[in-house]
Amino acid sequence: MKSVELSSLSKSYDGKNMVIDSINASIQPGEFFVLVGPSGCGKSTILRMIAGLEEVSGGELRIGDRAANNLHPSKRDLSMVFQNYALYPHLSVAENIMFGLYTKKISKQEQKERCSEACEMLGLSSLMDRKPRELSGGQRQRVALARAIVTHAPICLMDEPLSNLDAKLRAKMRSEIRQIQRKLGITMIYVTHDQTEAMTMADRMMILNGGKIQQLGKPLDIYNQPANSFVASFIGAPPMNLAEAKAEGNLLHIGDKHLSDVPQEVLLSIGAESVEAGIRPEHLIQAPAGEGKLTGLVANAEILGTETLLSFDISEGKQWIARWPGQWDLEPGDSIELTFNQEDLLFFDPQNGTRLSTGHRSPFASSEEQPI
């Protein structure tokens, strides 16, 4: 197992515009570390810099106890699984898996033993003589993973390996990859744009946007304590509900709705200045008739079997979503009353998105988290 240290890591293709801007992270030995963010945020570029496929423009990269800025990719002692799997179509499954071992001067007997062990672990033993064109997407993904495992490299890089699979197979492979990583004890750095993958697989995750870190920490810490409105809206399915909020007297106005019984310190911290209010869909719960903090008309109801997602208007052109357990047979136009716990209502600066504490303009963050 090896650690990976990123110290003020930067990347620019023209010497001026930074596509990766001063990234700092310490990835621990044996950790499952996930880079997550929207397309174009720079997560794959960071992975390619760690692999040695992209030059480092600034800062320092360390792999284990060695500086790796100018270290040749073959000397970095890591393996990589690409998004398109990169299998050789003319080679069999076994030949694809052992291909990277030919250059390591490993005996043919040991190559076969490693290949058999990896195939047994990944359920490929009966497919070793097949060509990639004879395999399903999930089987090809397993071959690419087996090829990385047989190298016995202490670090494995994975670049959106599940993006080409259907939803059911993705869920299955998420579990398999995580179990294999735990069993082997390797350090895994995993890139994805899917926040569900990040939440379910990561020991820690780094959320990126525009080449900058938005937050770094444990999945549940980030979910419960988002550093800014981008993180709040990106992490979660459905995402956090957000709307403009303003205090007037003893009322808090959110969109076209107004709330009473709001703690005085909250109202004083907001004042007449507009802020952005947010709450998770699962924190909006049904209220008894006449006791709701929010009343809205149902715009759409999605009954998913185990839960129901209810969309309702919070202001003109702005809808919030409530997530209720069970099956609710509601029609568009029906009136619903909702309430929530006051501590579940979060506030963000409308200019830079930073999460606001009561009476302050500073984000809630643990020692591990890195806000903007």
Tens of pLDDT, residues 177-196: 898 899 889 999 999 999 99
Residues 204 and 252 in one domain: no
Q: Which helix (H) or strand (E) holds 310?
A: strand 307-315
Same domain, 280 and 352: yes
pLDDT, tens only, 106-146 = 888 999 999 999 898 888 999 999 999 999 888 898 899 89
In this prediction, what percent of the chain has a pLDDT beyond 90?
52
Residue 364 belongs to some domain of the structure: no
Domain that includes residue 330, residue range: 239-356
Residue 265: predicted pLDDT = 65
Edge to edge, what strands does the sheet with 204-209 contain? 78-81, 155-159, 187-192, 32-36, 204-209, 212-217
Assigned token pair, 196? 């569900």
Terminal Cα-to-Cα distance of the chain (whole angstroms): 30
Angle, to 10 degrees, between the axis of helix 167-184 and the axis of helix 108-122?
Answer: 130
Please indicate, yes or no, whether residues 307 and 221 belong to a single structural domain of this protein: no
User: Higher pLDDT residue, 315 or 264?
Assistant: 315
Which helix (H) or strand (E) segment holds residue 110: the answer is helix 108-122
Whether residues 221 and 247 share a domain: the answer is: no
Residues 276 and 350 in one domain: yes
Backbone angles phi, psi at 166, to 5 degrees: -75, 165
Asked, for residue 121, whether it belongs to a domain, the answer is: yes
Specify whether 77 is located in the same domain as 136.
yes
Strand order, beta sheet including 66-67: 18-27, 4-12, 58-63, 66-67
Within this chain, do residues 243 and 224 fall inside the same structural domain, yes or no? Answer: no
| 359: pLDDT strictly greater than 50 | no
DSSP 125: G
Which pLDDT value is given to residue 215?
Answer: 96
pLDDT value at residue 270: 64
